[in-house]
């Protein structure tokens, strides 16, 4: 009964927020302005999958944790299209990003990551020539462990769309911070139609419901979806009865065992911001688990919207 009431209250709050948001909106928000679209020093390699990487920083700084992540993706074999929704990209950051990216985009901060990915699809039409597309963002620290074989893991997986983790909240879906789509998916009518219909939404929870959940809901009709670290797989290792599966966010509730026992390569920044776990505790878990991630990078990060 407790969780039914909690679900009803949460849904009521969402509907109220959505109503007042629509009421206050005098006109449909304009399409986000693309301020910069520039080639990087890396030439596209159409034998490699491409990663669309969304990033934002309130101070318009590309943090060391972002560069570390990009280096890990490049070493894993991805071409990278970097999409920033910060107010600007400073010249030193632009020069450094050019060393690891095939394209660099700076756009207005509207529509969250799904609109950022939509912008990249529109600007970098060559994505169709790559064997796969990874949708990723800077809402995580990592890779905490090597992901050099991640493309092989994707290729060996019989699913068409592969995520790191999934969630049963609202409706079963893959979480969008790390979402790999094989070529048959990115060439499909469903994929194209989904992103054509992406609009600027002001409420983050609306983006989650309509786009993160909606992506899996729509694409599941034709394609097979799978998570490398699914909730059910994680729960098989624990006697956990505190909450129903639909209210479990494994990257939030099980962040510590995911790292120490599963060698999960990412840490959601929400563990620090929403849960309030101190950096010292995170650093201790990383050291104990044998991660080579430089804990000084954690201290470089000072917050943001994630």
Residue 103 to residues 97, 131, 249: CA-CA distances in angstroms?
9, 17, 33
User: Do 161 and 147 fall within a single domain?
Assistant: yes
User: Do 106 and 245 fall within a single domain?
Assistant: no
Query: In which band, very low, low, confident or very high, does the pLDDT at 301 lie, cut at 50, 70 and 90?
Result: confident
pLDDT, mean of residues 42-58: 97
User: Do 287 and 173 fall within a single domain?
Assistant: no
Residue 48 makes CB contacts below 8 A (sequence gap 6+) with 77, 78, 79, 130, 131
Higher-confidence position of 282 and 17: 282
Q: Is residue 44 part of a domain?
A: yes
User: Do 160 and 219 fall within a single domain?
Assistant: yes
User: Do 95 and 241 fall within a single domain?
Assistant: no
Residue 188 makes CB contacts below 8 A (sequence gap 6+) with 222, 223
Query: In which band, very low, low, confident or very high, does the pLDDT at 299 lie, cut at 50, 70 and 90?
Result: confident
Q: What is the pLDDT of residue 243?
A: 63
User: Do 208 and 266 fall within a single domain?
Assistant: no
User: Do 284 and 141 fall within a single domain?
Assistant: no
Side-chain-side CA neighbours of residue 170 (13 Å): 20
User: Do the Cβ atoms of 162 and 227 come closer than 8 Å?
Assistant: yes
Spatial distance between the Cα atoms of 181 and 131, rounded to a whole number of angstroms: 9
User: Do 241 and 193 fall within a single domain?
Assistant: no
Query: In which band, very low, low, confident or very high, does the pLDDT at 140 lie, cut at 50, 70 and 90?
Result: very high
Q: Report the number of distinct structural domains present in the chain.
A: 2
Q: Is residue 194 part of a domain?
A: yes
Given the structure tokens 């909606």, which residue do they identify?
214
- Show the domain range for 200: 30-227
In terms of Cα–Cα distance, which of 139, 76, 144 is closest to 289?
144
pLDDT exceeding 90 applies to what percent of the chain?
73
Q: Is residue 17 part of a domain?
A: no
Q: Is residue 269 part of a domain?
A: yes
User: Do 211 and 249 fall within a single domain?
Assistant: no
Q: Is residue 176 part of a domain?
A: yes
- pTM (predicted TM-score): 0.90
Model confidence at 16: pLDDT above 60: no
Q: Is residue 163 part of a domain?
A: yes
Q: What is the pLDDT of residue 20?
A: 45
In terms of Cα–Cα distance, which of 265, 290, 262, 295 is closest to 278?
295
User: Do 174 and 246 fall within a single domain?
Assistant: no
Spatial distance between the Cα atoms of 295 and 286, rounded to a whole number of angstroms: 8
Q: What is the pLDDT of residues 236-263, one digit of tens each?
A: 877 676 666 666 789 998 999 999 999 9
Residue 9 to residues 2, 143, 164: CA-CA distances in angstroms?
11, 36, 29
pLDDT exceeding 70 applies to what percent of the chain?
86
Q: What is the pLDDT of residues 167-197, one digit of tens each?
A: 988 889 999 999 999 999 999 999 999 999 9
User: Do 63 and 122 fall within a single domain?
Assistant: yes
DSSP-assigned beta bridge partners for residue 140: 268
Output the domain CATH number for residue 207: 3.90.550
Q: What is the pLDDT of residue 175?
A: 96
Spatial distance between the Cα atoms of 283 and 70, rounded to a whole number of angstroms: 21
Q: Is residue 12 part of a domain?
A: no
Model confidence at 99: pLDDT above 80: yes
User: Do 258 and 293 fall within a single domain?
Assistant: yes
Query: In which band, very low, low, confident or very high, does the pLDDT at 91 lie, cut at 50, 70 and 90?
Result: very high
User: Do the Cβ atoms of 169 and 14 come closer than 8 Å?
Assistant: no
Q: 203, 227, 251 — which closes off a domain?
A: 227
């Amino acid at each position: 009964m407790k969780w039914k009431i909690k679900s009803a209250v949460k849904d009521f709050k969402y509907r109220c927020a959505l109503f007042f948001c629509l009421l206050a909106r005098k006109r449909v928000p304009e399409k986000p302005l693309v301020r910069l679209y520039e080639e990087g020093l890396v030439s596209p390699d159409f034998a490699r999958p491409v990663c669309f990487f969304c990033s934002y920083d309130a101070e318009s700084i590309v943090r060391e944790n972002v560069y570390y992540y990009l280096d890990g993706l490049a070493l894993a074999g991805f071409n990278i299209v970097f999409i920033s929704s910060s107010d600007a990209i400073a010249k030193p950051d632009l020069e450094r990003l050019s060393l690891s990216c095939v394209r660099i985009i700076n756009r207005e901060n509207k529509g969250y990551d799904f609109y950022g990915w939509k912008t990249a699809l529109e600007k970098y039409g060559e994505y169709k020539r790559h064997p796969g597309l990874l949708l990723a963002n800077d809402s995580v620290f990592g890779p905490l462990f090597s992901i050099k074989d991640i493309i092989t893991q994707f290729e060996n997986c019989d699913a068409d769309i592969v995520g790191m983790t999934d969630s049963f909240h609202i409706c079963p879906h893959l979480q969008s911070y790390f979402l790999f789509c094989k070529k048959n998916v990115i060439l499909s009518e469903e994929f194209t139609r989904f992103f054509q219909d992406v609009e600027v939404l002001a409420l983050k929870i609306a983006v989650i419901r309509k786009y993160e959940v909606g992506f899996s809901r729509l694409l599941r009709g034709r394609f097979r979806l799978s998570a490398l670290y699914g909730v059910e797989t994680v729960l098989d290792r624990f006697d956990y009865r505190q909450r129903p599966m639909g209210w479990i966010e494994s990257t939030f509730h099980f962040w510590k065992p995911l790292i120490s026992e599963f060698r999960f390569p990412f840490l959601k920044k929400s563990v620090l911001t929403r849960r309030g776990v101190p950096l010292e505790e995170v650093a201790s878990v990383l050291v104990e688990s044998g991660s080579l991630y430089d804990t000084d990078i954690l201290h470089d990060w000072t917050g943001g919207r994630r």
